[in-house]
Amino acid sequence: MSKLNPKTLASFQSQMSRPPNWASVGMDTGGIAAGAREVFDALVAEKEQKGVAAEIRQTGSNGLAYADPIVQVKTEQLPLITYGSVDSELAAVIVENHLVKNQLIEDHIIATRERSTTLDEQKPIAILVKDTSEEQGDKTSFFQLSLQQELEVHGIKDVPVHRAMDMGIYDQGLCIQLLPSGVTYSNVLTPDLRRIISQSVEKGIVVEDLLVEDADPQQKIVLRNCGSVDPECIEDYLQHGGYQGLGRLLKDLTPEQGIDELKTSGLRGRGGAGFPVWLKWKLTRDPESDQKYVICNADEGDPGAFMDRSVLEGDPHSVLEGLIIAGYCVGANKGYLYIRAEYPLAVKRIQKAIDEARQKGLIGENILGSGFSFNADIRLGAGAFVCGEETALIASIEGKRGSPIPRPPFPSVKGLFEQPTSINNVETLASVAAILENSGKWYAQFGTEESRGTKVFAVTGKVRNAQLVEVPMGIPIRKIIYDVCGGVLSGNKLKAVQTGGPSGGVIPEDLLDTPISYESLSKLGSIMGSGGMLVMDQNDSMVDVAKFYLKFCVDESCGKCAPCRVGGYQLLQLLEKIFRGKALDTDIEQIKRICEAMQKASLCGLGQTAPNPVLSTLRYFEEEYTAFIEGGASYARKVKRQLADLAKQSA
Amino acid sequence: MIQRIVNATINGIPVSVPYGTSILDAARAVQVKIPVLCKHPDLGATAACGLCIVRIAGSQKMPRACATPLENGMEIFTHDGELTEIRRSVIELILSNHPSECLSCGRNTNCELQTLAAEFGIRQDSIERYVRDLPQDASNGSIIIDFNKCIKCGRCVQVCQEVQDVWALSFLERGINTRMAPAGDILLSESPCIKCGQCAAHCPTGAIVENDETAAVWAALRDPEKHCTVQIAPSVRVALGEEFGYPPGTNLTKKIYAVMRRLGFKAVFDTNFSADLTIMEEANEFVERFAKGKGELPLITSCCPAWTDYMEKFHHDFVDNFSTAKSPQQMMGVMAKTYYSEKMGIDPAKHYQVSIMPCTAKKYELERDEEMFASGYQDVDITLTTRELARMIKQSGIAFEELADEEADSILGTYSGAGTIFGATGGVMEAAIRTAYYFVTNESLEGDAINVTPVRGLEGVKIADVDIKGTQVKVAVAHGMANVGKVLGEVRDARKAGKETPYHFIEVMACPGGCIGGGGQPYHTDIHTRMQRAAGLYNDDEKCAARCSHENPEIKQVYKEYLGHPNSEKAHKLLHTHYKAKKVYLK
């Protein structure tokens, strides 16, 4: 592999060499757990057996975790088609039918969310149908048949109709999507079928009153390559515009100008606290020092969060590129990626990315002839949540016990090995590379005045589609839950959404229209956090939820400072007491008192925010606490039984 | 260098302090005390306890005063209703994780947590108590750890790792189960612990205390069969008074002699005398090595048992450099049970020798090896720390403060100024130089020249060139084990490079400040108390009739009557010992 220079790097921009027929498998940890490796092997075996000229590739996750394993197929005749819930049997069918015969496969297609609102005169090559209501049973097959009959009536024989697995639209009755345009209709009734055929299929005219005009609210910047590039192939990343941001920075910009670009972008730290990235970099750049460091914080540990893992596994070079950019801007020639050891695939792929980047001359001495040198290494976290805290993370890299130390001095002044150090999280660094590639001004167009850009959320819990979502800041939480993730499971009533993981709080249903931003969430008693989003429905007990999150922090407390170490434990005892129906009114006061001591007197963010789930559930759902106090042990037993039954059902 | 000054207000009071001063220290400068349980003046801020939170105008946060430097223009508020209530909650939380055994605790009436609870008027246990039931670690005879009483302030770990560079103690587990313990969860006796007791001296509660052996001493004193004698270490005389309300550094030598007799000791010796004896042997050894080339240079002092333990574990490539002269404690023991017993007609088998030391490691030294039984019996039977002695006096019903002065018993009681300064860092070196000068030149240092001031003071490493009639002797003094590494490193580097040793004579004491800051001294020792105690010893030195060990008339007599000359066959048998490499971990 030869080293790149500015010219050869730039030439990648226009290249996109890919064979006409290919299939890719989402091989992130989630995909692999669901069987993606078997699917991959089956695709390869079937392809070879049948002698099909097609490339079988691996990618990371495209975010649709609920539909793992995912296979994307592209042939000359058909647009890019995404299949969900694929197994090895289906993989063989995909090769035989889709790759060889250009036939789509029933019940596994995930319709594109890039919905067009215009049609050309070309007849569609296929139609997807899906009943998105499911209230009185799934009528998809019925509509498929109706549509096929109607097409026959119109004498159209070459437009197949296929049942889709997911339309990306929910509770909107029958939905229909025309391929390849992506024009999508919702709330289609039987009489409408005729109109759709005579207008759209035959004449290329859009049926306005059925048209879905709302585009998918997602905006993929961080996840721009996840699910499309091969994470273990630097050429693929380069062909997707990779390292262009770094190239531009090294060629055209001084470190200060690089920092200015970040300032224009308005990007704030995505690890949770939202500190302006440009300022952190400037504060690290300013002190005079022979040695500075940049660190990528990849110690993602919130329960239910998998944003960083998906990026590390799906687009490792974007993180590495961001880290090199950070190094150049702050004046550091050494970077560490602190990755939790429980992410072995991420570690493997980042290591591969480092090796490949070194071979390409993007890491090492005199990068792209700029005179800037940079090296990167991985350090493994040993599974302590608190090591996501900057100073604890630094201690851990230094080989010490991972406990926070007081700030100031901030790491930007005195960090790793006592040298100025900038620590940025995975999502931040992946955004940085995109910003340098496209400009700060481009980035600043997304989001709100105070909170620019996009944010990735891992939406889990009682939601129809547990998945990764990347949306512009300022979008209402409700839109994420309902428009992207399909709303609440089995038609239940949404009760609240927890953001910010164990450091965050719950947001009740009636406040879900709040536009999402660092400020708005904190006003509601929650936080942005790193991006966990847990959906709870009417059956969830808020006391139980608070207890769950608090227990996490109590287990993960490093034990250094008394307010967190003892406060968390005692708080948990009080919640247990309430949950057993043994508490008194005065215990609520005691809970509030301990919460305050923890918030105000804990040393680091873990202890300061650990009471948030308790305080926010008390704020919005105090009646659930008083119900336990008034109802006593018999009430507590009843709630416990209900929760156990529900758990059994969902299992 | 121009010192930058920071101007701010604390509770409305203007304050000007040097740049970098913490809010905690700045507040103290304007007579404001902010409660703390973890921050110790000797140690950096760990910010563990959470009690010293304050309010800064314009900020929502409550930063810790111990760890936050004062900045220009800051308006600090240290006490208001909310801060006090939060502090009370934190104290109650800490109490909820601490046994309620104050009455039977080694730190009863002297515990920082107990004091705070009293000051905050906490009258009930409002939070249910949760204390783990961890067994004590009494495996090493010097200190005892009661893990259940630990409040995880981290002082012991800090002092063990940062000040002493021993790394015996660390934190294990996490969350509510976090506990301080020997690293690797082994017994203290299997750990690198050097028994210096700095952990006990810095512990705010009763989690680490000296192994209290007063009961054994009482039993011996009450045993009619036993002839109990006692020796008092140099630094005890300037520290014991603190337990009775005297300011640090008050020299109570003669009151201590008096109280010892009241307690029932048949004879009262002074370790200062045997310090003079140590100097005779050690200065002679130095001259032999330095002037006559018999043995390795540099010569390194070995009177501190924590240091010798540390050396044997971590720096045993210097075994041959160690002075073979025993410590004053051990020299006194063997002289008491041989020379003194013979002279007074006491059966050495019944002679029970007690030493009063500032030190927990001295308890270990008693049975360090078979050479500590040179008299044919255990030379010193038991060691009490200054703190234990204070308890004995208080139990005994003697109004210590009102006692009239008395003298020590003759023959092992008279001391020179050189013997008394053994208790402070640099003192052994200074005492040795005074006598080595005499051994080399046959002349005694006179006037100001007798004061070797460059080796005095609390600087971590002190270096001096001493002129012995035209010959330059390069000496180094280190105290606090973390300071030793760099001095020995220089010697090691020179050795490797085949160069001449950078130092000829090195004094090392394990504890910061030397014995005056020993692990068995009265609590609440900080740099000010160390300075005052050291000053007390140097004052004592100035007042002594003899300032050099070789001028001590009783020393002369002992050599004349019994030992012959330094390093005579008899002296060698009784007064010298040997060192060897040891494993750092015994597990």
Q: HEC profile for A431-486?
A: HHHHHHHHCHHHHHCCECCCCECEEEEEEEECECCCEEEEEECCCEHHHHHHHHCC
How far apart are the CA of B458 and the nearest CA of chain A, in angstroms?
A: 26
pLDDT of residue B360 exceeding 80: yes
Across the range B118-147, mean pLDDT stands at 95
How far apart are the CA of B22 and the nearest CA of chain A, in angstroms?
A: 11
Closest CB to B50 among A408, A555, A562: A562
Q: Dump pLDDT digits (tens) for A557-567.
A: 999 999 999 99
Question: Do both A527 and A625 map to the same domain?
Answer: yes
For residue B324, give the nearest of B292, B371, B259, B267 by alpha carbon: B371
Per-residue pLDDT at A1:
63
How far apart are the CA of A291 and the nearest CA of chain B, in angstroms?
A: 23
Burial of A187 (0-12, 13-18, 19+ CB in 10 A): middle
Closest CB to A561 among B47, B97, B130: B47
Q: Are A401 and B64 an interchain contact pair (Cβ–Cβ within 8 Å)?
A: no
CA-to-CA separations, A538 to A462, A621, A642, B93, B143, in angstroms, rounded: 10, 12, 12, 35, 58
pLDDT of residue B234 exceeding 60: yes
* pLDDT higher at B108 or A213: B108
Q: Which residues contact A589 (CB under 8 A, 6 or more apart)?
A: none
Whether residue A503 contacts residue A612, with contact meaning beta carbons closer than 8 Å, is answered with: yes
Any A CB within 8 A of B89 CB: yes
**Chain A residues in contact with B85 (beta carbon < 8 A):** 593
For an interface test with A, give the residue of B36, B43, B174, B180 to mutate (most A CBs within 10 A).
Answer: B174
On whether residue A223 sits in a domain, the answer given is no
Closest CB to A596 among B64, B86, B152: B86
Per-residue pLDDT at B336:
97
Q: Which residues contact A607 (CB under 8 A, 6 or more apart)?
A: A553, A557, A561, A563, A564, A567, A568, A598
Question: Do both A81 and A198 map to the same domain?
Answer: no
On whether residue A226 sits in a domain, the answer given is no
Across the range A629-647, mean pLDDT stands at 94
DSSP of B127-172, one letter per residue? Answer: S------PPPB--SSSEEE-GGG-----HHHHIIIIIS----EEEE
Whether residue B187 contacts residue B202, with contact meaning beta carbons closer than 8 Å, is answered with: no
Residue B481: CA atoms inside 13 Å, Cβ hemisphere, count? 30
Residue A28: CA atoms inside 13 Å, Cβ hemisphere, count? 28
pLDDT of residue B168 exceeding 60: yes
Per-residue pLDDT at A2:
81
How far apart are the CA of A266 and the nearest CA of chain B, in angstroms?
A: 24
Question: Do both A47 and A23 map to the same domain?
Answer: yes
Whether residue B515 contacts residue B536, with contact meaning beta carbons closer than 8 Å, is answered with: no
Report, at the CATH architecture level, how domain B134-209 is classified: 2-Layer Sandwich (3.30)
Q: How confident is the model at residue A215 (pLDDT cuts 50, 70, 90)?
A: confident
pLDDT of residue B356 exceeding 70: yes
pLDDT of residue B1 exceeding 70: no
What's A77's domain CATH number? 3.40.30.10
Output phi, psi for A532, to 5 deg.
Answer: -75, 145
Closest CB to B64 among A406, A557, A566: A406
How far apart are the CA of A586 and the nearest CA of chain B, in angstroms?
A: 11
DSSP A45: H
DSSP of A332-384, one letter per residue? Answer: -SEEEEEEETT-HHHHHHHHHHHHHHHHTTSSBSSGGGSS--BEEEEEEE-S-
Q: Are B175 and A568 an interchain contact pair (Cβ–Cβ within 8 Å)?
A: yes
Scanning B188-217 for CB atoms below 8 A from A yields none
DSSP B64: B
Positive or negative: CA dihedral A556, A562, A566, A567: negative
Q: From A559, which residue of chain B is nearest by alpha-carbon distance?
A: B175
Q: Diameter of chain A by CA atoms?
A: 79
For an interface test with A, give the residue of B36, B59, B127 to mutate (most A CBs within 10 A).
Answer: B127
Distance CA B207, CA B83 (A): 28
Cβ contacts of B448-457, under 8 Å, gap ≥ 24: B450/B547, B450/B548, B452/B426, B455/B426, B455/B429, B455/B430, B455/B507, B456/B424, B456/B426, B456/B430, B456/B534, B456/B538, B457/B425, B457/B426
Burial of B274 (0-12, 13-18, 19+ CB in 10 A): buried
Least confident among A206-210, A488-492, B308-312, B485-489: A488-492
On whether residue A41 sits in a domain, the answer given is yes
**Chain B residues in contact with A603 (beta carbon < 8 A):** 47-48, 50, 64
For an interface test with A, give the residue of B87, B89, B158 to mutate (most A CBs within 10 A).
Answer: B89
Cβ-based contacts under 8 A for chains A and B? 116
Parent domain of A8: 1-108
Q: Which residues contact B457 (CB under 8 A, 6 or more apart)?
A: B425, B426
Which residue has tokens 């299949």? A83
How far apart are the CA of B452 and the nearest CA of chain A, in angstroms?
A: 38
Number of C-beta neighbours around residue B427 at 10 A: 31
Burial of A478 (0-12, 13-18, 19+ CB in 10 A): middle
Distance CA A273, CA B294 (A): 68
Q: Dump pLDDT digits (tens) for B372-415.
A: 999 999 999 999 999 999 999 999 999 999 999 999 998 899 99
pLDDT of residue B426 exceeding 70: yes
For residue B435, give the nearest of B327, B555, B322 by alpha carbon: B555
pLDDT of residue A646 exceeding 90: no
Q: Dump pLDDT digits (tens) for A566-592.
A: 999 999 999 999 999 999 999 999 999
Q: Are B64 and A600 an interchain contact pair (Cβ–Cβ within 8 Å)?
A: no
Report, at the CATH architecture level, how domain B5-92 is classified: Roll (3.10)
For residue B280, give the nearest of B548, B468, B504 by alpha carbon: B548
Q: Which of A47, A74, A108 is the last residue of a domain?
A: A108
Question: Do both A580 and A460 map to the same domain?
Answer: yes
Whether residue A283 contacts residue A410, with contact meaning beta carbons closer than 8 Å, is answered with: yes
Question: Do both A534 and A587 map to the same domain?
Answer: yes
pLDDT of residue B65 exceeding 60: yes
Q: Which residues contact B183 (CB under 8 A, 6 or more apart)?
A: B167, B168, B169, B170, B172, B191
**Chain B residues in contact with A590 (beta carbon < 8 A):** 126-127
pLDDT of residue B105 exceeding 90: yes
**Chain B residues in contact with A381 (beta carbon < 8 A):** none
Going through B358-460 in order, the beta strands assigned E by DSSP cover 382-385
* pLDDT higher at A34 or A136: A34
Quick check: helix, strand or coil at residue B336?
helix
On whether residue A8 sits in a domain, the answer given is yes
Q: Are B128 and A570 an interchain contact pair (Cβ–Cβ within 8 Å)?
A: yes
DSSP of B230-276, one letter per residue? Answer: EEE-GGGGGTGGGGGTPPTT---HHHHHHHHHHHT-SEEEEHHHHHH
Q: Which strands sit side by side in the sheet containing B351-357, from one edge to the other?
A: B267-270, B227-232, B351-357, B382-385
Distance CA A441, CA A280 (A): 19
Question: Do both A145 and A189 map to the same domain?
Answer: yes
Question: Do both A633 and A528 map to the same domain?
Answer: yes
Q: Dump pLDDT digits (tens) for B322-350.
A: 999 999 999 999 999 999 999 999 999 99
Quick check: helix, strand or coil at residue B67?
coil
Q: Which of A82, A108, A134 is the last residue of a domain?
A: A108
Q: How confident is the model at residue A138 (pLDDT cuts 50, 70, 90)?
A: confident
Q: Which of A422, A444, A466 is the last residue of a domain?
A: A444
On whether residue A248 sits in a domain, the answer given is yes
Token pair of A200 as six digits: 């759209």
Residue B480: CA atoms inside 13 Å, Cβ hemisphere, count? 18
- A461 residue type, one letter: G
Which residue has tokens 């936080």? A527
Is residue B425 left, alpha or beta, with left meaning phi > 0 and alpha meaning psi from -120 to 50? Answer: beta
Across the range A232-259, mean pLDDT stands at 96
Question: Do both A259 and A374 map to the same domain?
Answer: yes
Whether residue A22 contacts residue A56, with contact meaning beta carbons closer than 8 Å, is answered with: yes
List active site positions of B. 282, 285, 303, 323, 362, 365, 370, 515
Closest CB to B50 among A386, A405, A561: A561
Whether residue A526 contacts residue A520, with contact meaning beta carbons closer than 8 Å, is answered with: no
**Chain A residues in contact with B21 (beta carbon < 8 A):** none
SS3 of B179-228: EEEECCCCCHHHCCCCCCCHHHHHCCCCCEEECCCHHHHHHHHHCCCCEE
Q: How confident is the model at residue A16 (pLDDT cuts 50, 70, 90)?
A: low
Whether residue B579 contacts residue B319, with contact meaning beta carbons closer than 8 Å, is answered with: yes
pLDDT of residue A486 exceeding 80: yes
Q: Diameter of chain B by CA atoms?
A: 79
Across the range A429-454, mean pLDDT stands at 96
Distance CA B458, CA B429 (A): 14
pLDDT of residue A455 exceeding 80: yes
Across the range B423-430, mean pLDDT stands at 97
Q: Dump pLDDT digits (tens) for A330-379.
A: 999 999 999 999 999 999 999 999 999 999 999 999 999 999 999 999 99
Positive or negative: CA dihedral A330, A335, A341, A347: positive
Per-residue pLDDT at A148:
95
Whether residue B274 contacts residue B331, with contact meaning beta carbons closer than 8 Å, is answered with: yes
CB neighbour burial string for B4-31, b if at least 16 within 10 angstroms, e if fewer: eebebebbeeebebeeebbbbbbbbebe
CB neighbour burial string for A332-344, b if at least 16 within 10 angstroms, e if fewer: bbbbbbbbbebbe
**Chain A residues in contact with B64 (beta carbon < 8 A):** 406, 603
Q: How confident is the model at residue A273 (pLDDT cuts 50, 70, 90)?
A: confident
Domain ranges of chain B: 5-92, 134-209, 215-575
Query: Which fold would CATH assign to domain B215-575?
Result: Rossmann fold (3.40.50)
Per-residue pLDDT at A122:
85
Question: Do both A407 and A283 map to the same domain?
Answer: yes
Per-residue pLDDT at B2:
67
Question: Do both A639 and A514 map to the same domain?
Answer: yes
Whether residue A71 contacts residue A40, with contact meaning beta carbons closer than 8 Å, is answered with: no
Q: From B176, which residue of chain A is nearest by alpha-carbon distance?
A: A565
**Chain B residues in contact with A573 (beta carbon < 8 A):** 128, 130
pLDDT of residue B450 exceeding 90: yes
Q: Dump pLDDT digits (tens) for B507-522.
A: 999 999 999 999 999 9
On whether residue A139 sits in a domain, the answer given is yes
Question: Do both A268 and A390 map to the same domain?
Answer: yes
Query: pLDDT exceeding 70 applies to what percent of chain A?
Result: 99
Is residue B567 left, alpha or beta, with left meaning phi > 0 and alpha meaning psi from -120 to 50? Answer: left
Q: At what angle do helices A562-579 and A542-556 cross, to 10 degrees?
A: 150
What's A542's domain CATH number? 3.10.20.600
The count of domains in chain A is 4
Token pair of A317 as six digits: 């070079």
pLDDT of residue B447 exceeding 90: no
Prediction pTM value: 0.93
Q: How confident is the model at residue A133 (pLDDT cuts 50, 70, 90)?
A: confident
Closest CB to B45 among A406, A562, A569: A406
Per-residue pLDDT at A15:
64
Question: Do both A508 and A624 map to the same domain?
Answer: yes
Across the range B248-266, mean pLDDT stands at 97
Residue A344: CA atoms inside 13 Å, Cβ hemisphere, count? 1
Q: Dump pLDDT digits (tens) for B547-574.
A: 999 999 999 999 999 999 999 999 999 9
Q: Which residue(s) pair with B322 in the sheet?
A: B300
Token pair of B418 as six digits: 């050189």
Whether residue B42 contacts residue B164, with contact meaning beta carbons closer than 8 Å, is answered with: no
- B486 residue type, one letter: K
Quick check: helix, strand or coil at residue A627?
helix
SS3 of B457-516: CCCCEEEEEEEECCEEEEEEEEECHHHHHHHHHHHHHHHHCCCCCCCCEEEEECCCCHHH
DSSP B33: P
Whole-number average pLDDT of chain B: 96
The enclosing H or E element of A547 equals: helix A542-556
Across the range A173-199, mean pLDDT stands at 94
What's A369's domain CATH number? 3.40.50.11540
**Chain A residues in contact with B171 (beta carbon < 8 A):** 401, 403, 559-560
On whether residue A224 sits in a domain, the answer given is no
